[in-house]
Amino acid sequence: MNTNSRTKKNAAVILLLAIMAILPTLTAKAQDNSDEYGIWTTFEASKKINKKFKFGVDAEFRTIDYVSNVERWAIGASLDYKISKMFKANIGYSFIYTRKPEETNIKDIFDETLGLYNYNVDHAYWNIRNRFYFTLQGEYKVGRVEFTLRERLQYTRTNSTTTDETKYRYEYTDPVAGDYQLTELTEPEFKRTKHNTTLRSRLTAKWDIRNCKITPFASVELYTRLDEWAGCDKLRYRAGASYKFNKDNSISLYFLYQDAADDDEPKGYALGVEYSIDL
């Protein structure tokens, strides 16, 4: 067996071991009924303006409940500035059109003996988000492993909208006999504008395997909301590999898990596919 074949075989084995290592974690997390499952797809295109500047555009499409519902789609643009060989800065904007799923809100206990609850149901709806971000990124290589630390400050404005809300209320028809009925009332509900400022800190490790087009990678990302400080809000874990067709085209496949839900995304895991092209 020649050196190239042996290297590629080793890369495939390592990638398989990485997938096997992360699957038990995903399976364990999946036992929680609050976890969601989705597919994330991303397309990125970039063009170098000169030695310092690079312009990029991207498009994203996500599903939830496997592929049964669309969770969001987004388009964006960014500008990179190369500060030095190890550091670069980035500014960008994303237009995000996202679907908020149906949500049930439990109200006061109606009767402790019966154990019945009044509740409201917010119907599913779509809304628009405008996101602006500024990024600083540093890279450092140890042997054939490259470590990247990215600090991103992002501001997101979620536009106001109107949806329907159904209120369910239990009422006694005969208090003595304990008979009751459930009534419902649906009426419009106004969702106010929301503002979110978050710091995203991501550490990534990539292994550059000699004479191989496959590059395994893994990352962990911390989300810290700054306008409503409460420490780390959620963690996102990612592991996968990228394949370089040539110097301008590459594709990445990864598993992703995030441990908490917020206004931006549900808790759960996803299978992601990302295609990148340099023009």
Domain locations along the chain: 3-99+126-159+191-210+237-244+253-278
Please tell me the predicted confidence (pLDDT) of residue 232.
Answer: 83
Please tell me the predicted confidence (pLDDT) of residue 190.
Answer: 92
- CB atoms closer than 10 angstroms to residue 15: 19
Which of 209, 93, 206 is CA-nearest to residue 146?
206
Please tell me the predicted confidence (pLDDT) of residue 111.
Answer: 64
- b or e along 213-252 (b: 16 or more beta carbons within 10 Å of the residue's beta carbon)? ebbbbbbebebebeeeeeeebbebbbbbbbeeeeeeebeb
Which of 78, 100, 99 is CA-nearest to residue 90?
78
Please tell me the predicted confidence (pLDDT) of residue 24.
Answer: 46
Report which residue type is found at 15: L
Which of 222, 233, 227 is CA-nearest to residue 260?
233
Please say whether the beta carbons of 57 and 70 come within 8 A: no
Please tell me the predicted confidence (pLDDT) of residue 36.
Answer: 84
Q: Are strands 53-64 and 69-82 parallel, antiparallel or unpaired?
A: antiparallel
Please report, in tens digits, the pLDDT of each residue of the chain (279 residues total).
555 555 555 555 555 455 544 444 444 444 455 678 899 999 999 999 999 999 999 999 999 887 888 999 999 999 999 999 999 999 999 999 999 888 888 876 666 666 678 888 999 999 999 999 999 999 999 999 999 999 999 999 999 999 999 998 888 777 777 778 888 899 999 999 999 999 999 999 999 998 888 999 999 999 999 988 777 889 999 999 999 999 899 999 999 999 888 888 888 999 999 999 999
Return the CATH number of the domain spanning residue range 3-99+126-159+191-210+237-244+253-278: 2.40.160
Report which residue type is found at 184: E
Please tell me the predicted confidence (pLDDT) of residue 6.
Answer: 58
